[in-house]
Chains A and B, each alone.
Chain A
Amino acid sequence: MTATRLLDQNRPDLMFSVDGVAVPAKQGDTLLTAMLTAGLGHVRTSEFGDGGRAGFCWMGACQDCWVVVAGKGVRRACTTLVEPGIEVIRR
């Protein structure tokens, strides 16, 4: 899934990492927005064998966008704001 930046994107750039690879983002992005606009395609892999997942509800209800944030543990990508230098691990 590739999310498209359409409006209100004049915000400071920053870098964070996903699975050890540097990824660009903008201040105010959620992890979900940052990962899907950067072309990563998915934010986790289903533990039931049906492939990648990229969230669904974008509002903290469906729990389909869990990622691991180093030092913080499991977080919902859709309700967690990106910060410079944070390390995200996809499961």
Chain B
Amino acid sequence: MKVVVVGAGPAGIRAVEQLVRAGVTPIWIEEGADGGGRITQRPPAGFSRSHAALYGADAGRAKRLHATLDALKARVDWRPDTLVWNIRPDAKVLHILANGAAQDEVAYGALILCTGAMDRVLPLPGWNLPGATTLGGAQVALKSQGVGVGANPVLIGTGPLLWLTALQYAKAGAKPAAVLDTTDFLTKARFGAGMLWNVPTLLRGMGLYAQLKLRGVKLHEDITPLAIEGVDNVTAVHWRDAAWKEHVTPCDAVAMGWGLKPEAQLADLAGVPFDYDATQQNWVPRKDAAGRSPMAGVYLAGDGAGIGGVDVAELGGARAALALLADAKLPSDMALSKHLDGRLRTERRFRAALEQAFPYPARLAARMEDSTSVCRCEVITAGELRAAAAADAPELNRAKAFSRIGMGRCQGRLCGTPAAAVLARALQVEVPEVGRLRGQPPVKPVPLQQVG
């Protein structure tokens, strides 16, 4: 049976490792020039920082993952620089584009999708300005390029990535102008106990917070971001503190992110149904605890299958591969499966607490001003979206037809979450009731002559 694994982050690496152990030689497709994922992303050739310098507390994990990745490449059909831009589940065929130019089809008997995640954003006035980036982007810039998105950036959002990125910038010699957290202290404290399910990670998070304080980085909680200011470039952030006092913090860049959302477009095209996960406030593709989707032969792992973080990605990748092997009546390590199931259960409890401690501020998205662009790609405003709602768009795909929201070059990756909040408020329904933007091929733009 031809097995295809898409993605070479932590989940993909651990999935392929189990397949190879069982004697299966998969086709392994990675969009980037090399694998490694985001947390353990590798810089291009020519950079020389050590694992310790690059990954800090994740250095050991990065070393292990990279060693496994490199050892596996020669034992599989390794295809870097390759984009899967469509899936035809009826024919069990993937449409791929190699090196940005070569079009091809790949048939699969079974498929493991490990497609990762990206930042979840809150549109603000001025977020289209040069100088505004995602938090993940700010981190990638530093990790894989050794550059800061600015010398004095403001970081806005919530979650561990906010603190981690701020600390990484401070350590690298940048001077974060402020770290603005939309979550209040009490919410974080209330769900802190649930994070005892993963004590080392909880301690790391608290350590980040403490180190930022020690370095004198200005941390503000329970804030409301009002606008990103500037003409040709970001020059300041306008925000309101918990006591309702307004501030303007000068800066040369803004990095923003409120947790992550799955990059699950390929699961969508593969025919996998989605469910709204109210805890993580994301639509996630349906799968069982082992990673089996309801579509025969399609397996899901890592953050693309619902945000779980890097531990869950490694565990889930291995578990999905073992499920695939068992379903195909191939040798599958049952004892290891049981062990992984137990660890995944514990991690799910931790993750649920983490998501509740750092929620997406849907209330702020819902109330954004009419003039704020929800969609960066085509500059579609909240007002236009509300007009679509008034013209009888009871769900997002109808609103898309009316307003073009989600039709731009990013295919709704950025606007999907805030647009749902805006539309739901306009229609006076709950966020899940307006649905989600359906995936369309190509999942990323491909040269026109390549389609057809």
Contacts and interface: CB of A to CB of B under 8 A. Distances in A.
Interface stretch (B130-138, B351-359, B424-432): B130-138
A53 B172 CA distance: 26
Interface in B307-325: none
Contacts of A62: 134, 376, 410, 413-414
Q: How large is the interface on A (under 10, 10 to 19, 20 to 34, 35 or more residues)?
A: 35 or more
B136 A51 contact: no
B7 to A, nearest CB: 13
A56 B376 contact: yes
Question: Interface SS of chain A: helix, strand, loop or mixed?
Answer: loop
Contacts, number: 145
A6 B410 contact: no
B148 A1 contact: no
Contacts of B142: 6-7
A37 interface: yes
B147 A37 contact: yes
Interface string A12-54: 1000000000000001111001001100011000101111111
Interface of B: 31-33, 38, 43-49, 53, 100-101, 118-119, 128-134, 136-138, 140-142, 145-151, 172-174, 232-234, 252-253, 263, 373, 376-379, 409-410, 413-414, 444-445, 447
8 contacts: A3-B145, A7-B53, A7-B173, A11-B47, A28-B45, A46-B379, A59-B38, A64-B377
Interface of A: 1-12, 27-30, 33, 36-37, 41-42, 46, 48-64, 66, 72-75, 79, 81
Given A33-B147, A41-B233, A58-B133, 15 more contacts: A2-B233, A6-B173, A28-B47, A50-B128, A50-B379, A53-B128, A55-B137, A56-B376, A59-B140, A60-B31, A60-B444, A61-B263, A66-B409, A73-B100, A81-B33
